[in-house]
């Protein structure tokens, strides 16, 4: 019984290590996507506001 419990504990530790190694790649992608979305949103907002304020065209 104790050997089975020990193998389960080591397996869960191995799974956690794999998750920790894969996690930064996902978070970097999400951060990059969020920054890109924020920049494009701010650009669109500035364009719309400047069009309404200065009546371009």
In this prediction, residue 31 carries a pLDDT of 93
Q: Is pLDDT above 70 for 52?
A: yes
Lookup result for tokens 């996507």? 33
Each residue of 1-49: pLDDT tens digit?
555 555 555 566 666 665 566 555 668 999 999 999 999 999 999 999 9
In this prediction, residue 53 carries a pLDDT of 84
Q: CA 33, CA 39: separation in Å to the nearest integer?
A: 10
The distance from CA 15 to its chain's CA centroid, rounded to whole angstroms, is 21
In this prediction, residue 19 carries a pLDDT of 58
């Amino acid at each position: 019984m104790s050997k089975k419990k020990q193998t389960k504990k080591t397996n869960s530790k191995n799974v956690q290590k794999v998750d920790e190694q894969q996690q930064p790649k996902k978070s970097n992608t999400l951060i990059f996507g969020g920054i890109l979305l924020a920049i494009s949103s701010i650009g669109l907002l500035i364009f719309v506001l400047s069009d309404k304020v200065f009546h371009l065209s």
